Amino acid sequence: MRPVILFLTACFIVNSAYANLIDDLKTRSDVEYFVRKVNKILPDFSFNENIGKPDSCKTNYYKIDLDNNGLTDLVVATNFSCFAIIDSGNGEYGICHIEGYGGMLDEKYALKKIFKENNSTFLILERLFLQGFQPIIETRTDTLIFKFGGFVEYNSNQIMADVDEIHFESLGCWGGCPVFRLNIKSDKQAYYRTAISDDGDYRIDSFVTSIDAHSFNELMQIASYLRLMSLKDKYSVPWTDAATVTLEVSFVSGSNKTITDYGVAGTFGLQLLYKKLFALRESQKWQQ
């Protein structure tokens, strides 16, 4: 089975010598060349016609400041997907892909509209399903906003529920997906248990750490922003041998939400939260 990272909304930082060049892009050829140089996973990138071609989207790329840092970012729409190149300054670019189920299967997204309002940028995506090579446009659309270093469904509710604890478990898959359990307490203490293969046998190793303030606060803010109580309890992708994760969040109010996600792709916001939780395994200083 594909590694679990394929099911996440992938955002990563790329060091590049092409700082502050987005403003200078004038043509589709300019954009293609820039994408090839900056986005290393798309060395042969070229534009395709954007499905639907709505009146509000006359071209296939849009220069706009997504994260309000004063630097112009680039949104690129291909025929079945969309991605953004975020200018973080100092020659660094973040690459964020917006694709259904990792961009590998039948569910895709086409950019329908992009606009700025009240200092926030909104992307309206139209969900597509492919039968063979023929796209079927579903009436459902998603409104995304760039937040917490990735794209999440827009939440217009200004009142957020305070998160107390987060419990996260990955059960693995056929093909080597990681097996672990992660508990994050309200005092930043985190407990991590993982199954490690040793010559065909598995052992359980346990670790503990204090999550750094930035990572902890970001996790709590994402979990609060996603309106978890309004999401489904179960999500599932339509294929076998996928990874399964279970997310349990306790709120200060006393309520709890448990989400089981077979395929690790329930919503855009959940994918971003999963990505942050998976990253903690490498970003924190764990001790046995």
Q: All domains of the chain, ordered by start, with CATH?
A: 4-153 (no CATH), 163-283 (3.30.1560.10)
Residue 86 has pLDDT above 80, yes or no: yes
Tell me the C-alpha distance between 38 and 53, whole Å.
26
Would you say residue 198 has pLDDT above 70?
no
Which amino acid is it at 135? P
Using alpha carbons only, give the angle 230, 236, 237 rounded to the nearest 5 degrees. 130
Question: Percentage of residues in the chain with pLDDT exceeding 70?
Answer: 79
Q: Are strands 179-184 and 234-236 parallel, antiparallel or unpaired?
A: unpaired
Is residue 22 scored above 80 in pLDDT? yes
Q: Count CB atoms within 10 A of the CB of residue 150.
A: 25
| Contact present, 91 and 19 (Cβ < 8 Å) | yes
Question: What's the rounded mean pLDDT across residues 217-239?
Answer: 93
How far apart CA 175 and CA 213 sit, in angstroms, is 34
